[in-house]
Amino acid sequence: MDVAIIGFGTRGQYYAYLFKKRNVNVVAVCDSDLQKLQIAKNKYSVAGDRLFADEKEFFGKGKMADLLVVSTQDADHYGHAVQGLEIGYDLLLEKPIASDLKECIEIRDMSIQLNRKIFVCHVLRYAPFFTSLKKELESGKFGKVVTINMTENVSYWHQAHSYVRGSWRSAENSTPMIIAKCCHDLDIIVWLTNSDCEYVSSYGDLSYYKRENAPEGSADYCYDCRYIADCPYSADKIYIKDRAEKGRLNWPCNAVVPSPTTETLKAALKRGQYGKCVFKCDNDVVDHQVVNMRFINGATASLTMTAFGDHSRVIFVHCEKGELYGYLEENKIHCDIFGKEHYTIDTNSSKDVFSGHGGGDERMIEDVINATEGAQSSTLTSVAVSVQSHIIGFNAEKSRLDNGRSIKLSEQ
């Protein structure tokens, strides 16, 4: 099996690494940034005539591999997915499927008409924490899921990196926060409730990362600012002190510069986008949002997304005969069947890999290889199932913009 990749940024390069680790060759790469093409050539030995800076030339060559990875930015997914499908590729498509709901549905329908596989990168379905939770629910011991409470604690620095300074700071240029960050969480909720959603409503705002909250006398860029040593959002702290100086030069440093070193990072931060004061950026996406859902099978769920928390997800699943709860980073599921002894499932087995979305990234790639090579017929994250989370997310955003109006999804 071999793969072609369009969008060789942080995700595209990570997938190249995961495929190569499993002896799957990266045979063609398209990225508009020449530095990224150089990385493809040096690290993955992609031949010179298979490196493309222009997407027209890339698609013009026709199908060059068994699978096309679409890991460009959100707003480009639709165009790249459609062109890939048209010339015969199956796709590993980064989430979100597309940057508006109509386009998501079109991509789903195209995959059916053309009989092409699309694997959506909803990697959390592969994290041992969530697969164990799903298995426990399927045992039947807990009865039917009645309600789910989930919190996505984005974390202050991750919010600053991606949603205040970074590529997802503008809903219009990328996607609304509830899709960009939380289509994963909505997808997990759909998977665990085992039902489609009927009603959704949502509230949320951008409350903190605004000019009016800038400390008095603060500068536009961290390296000019008197608060650089103490501010939790100091670019020097986030990228240099906490990461580069500790030898941690992968994400998020490689989103600032393609081949980060302490020196290249400092140079890029001085006057660059990631060195800007978080209170003085052109961001408009929310920093907190709640979504309420009612499912066709009667289950209810609520999702809270907040910038102001620790970096992880917390979930409570309340069922007719018991409850399960846990914190993704702890990798333990706490289980109570009513009237019985409490027990804990530890998913933190030492032979497992747990980096990259709680181990989900690696396992998804394994499943995609198996499904492409014919060892299995499907994966957990086909576009047909993944679209449901996007239907909820885009409608949650519609509701948020309409003061929390409840929206009936079957009327869409």
Ligand X SMILES: NC(=O)c1ccc[n+]([C@@H]2O[C@H](COP(=O)([O-])OP(=O)(O)OC[C@H]3O[C@@H](n4cnc5c(N)ncnc54)[C@H](O)[C@@H]3O)[C@@H](O)[C@H]2O)c1
Smallest separation, CB 29 to ligand X (Å): 9
- Alpha carbon separation from 312 to 129, 359, 369 (Å, rounded): 12, 14, 28
* Closer to ligand X by Cβ: residue 93 or 231: 93
* Residue that has been written with the tokens 């066709």 in this structure: 296
Contact of 274 with 121, CB cutoff 8 Å:
no
Classify 136 as helix, strand or coil. helix
CB of 96 to ligand X, least distance (A): 6
DSSP 94: P
| Min separation Cβ 295 and ligand X, Å | 24
**CA distances in angstroms from 215 to 160, 283, 309, listed in the order given:** 16, 18, 21
* Residue with Cβ nearer ligand X (305 or 319): 305
Distance CA 258, CA 57 (A): 23
Residue 132 bridge partners (DSSP): none
- Please measure the distance between the N-terminal and C-terminal CA atoms of the chain and give it in whole angstroms: 39
Respond yes or no on whether the N-terminal peptide bond of residue 252 is cis (omega within 30° of 0). Answer: yes
Query: For ligand X, which is the closer residue by CB, 179 or 225?
Result: 179
- Residue 348's φ and ψ, nearest 5 degrees, are -95, 55
Instruction: Between 59 and 279, name the residue whose CB sits nearer to ligand X.
Output: 59
Q: Is the peptide bond before 96 cis (omega within 30 degrees of 0)?
A: yes
- Give Cβ neighbours of residue 352 (< 8 Å, ≥ 6 apart): 128, 359
Measured from the CB atom, the residue of 71 and 388 that comes closer to ligand X is 71
Q: How far is CA 111 from CA 99, 115, 157, 283, in A?
A: 17, 6, 37, 34
Give me the torsion for CA of 97, 100, 106, 108, rounded to 10°. 30
Nearest approach, Cβ of residue 296 and ligand X (Å): 27
CB of 272 to ligand X, least distance (A): 14
Provide the total of helices (H) and of strands (E) in the chain, helices listed first.
14, 15
9 vs 322 by CB, closer to ligand X: 9
Which residues neighbour 217 within 8 Å (Cβ) at sequence distance 6 or greater?
Answer: 226
3-state secondary structure of 164: helix
User: Toward ligand X, which CB reaches closer, 121 or 385?
Assistant: 121
Minimum separation from the CB atom of position 57 to ligand X (A): 10
Q: What minimum distance in Å lies between the beta carbon of 35 and ligand X?
A: 9
Q: What span, in angstroms and rounded, lies between the C-alpha atoms of 240 and 161?
A: 13
| Tokens found for residue 155 | 């974390």
Residue 74 vs 362, nearer CB to ligand X: 74
Q: Which residues bind ligand X (CB under 6 A)?
A: 6-12, 30-33, 36, 55, 71-74, 76, 94-95, 121, 123, 167, 180, 255, 357
Work out how close the CB of 263 gets to ligand X at its nearest, in angstroms, rounded to a whole number.
Answer: 21
User: Nearest approach, Cβ of 31 to ligand X (angstroms)?
Assistant: 4
- The Cα 134–Cα 376 span in angstroms is 20
Give the position of tokens 């015969």: 88
Closest to ligand X by CB, 294 vs 390, is: 390
Nearest residue to ligand X by CB is 9
Q: Which is nearer to ligand X, 94 or 397 (CB)?
A: 94
CB of 130 to ligand X, least distance (A): 13
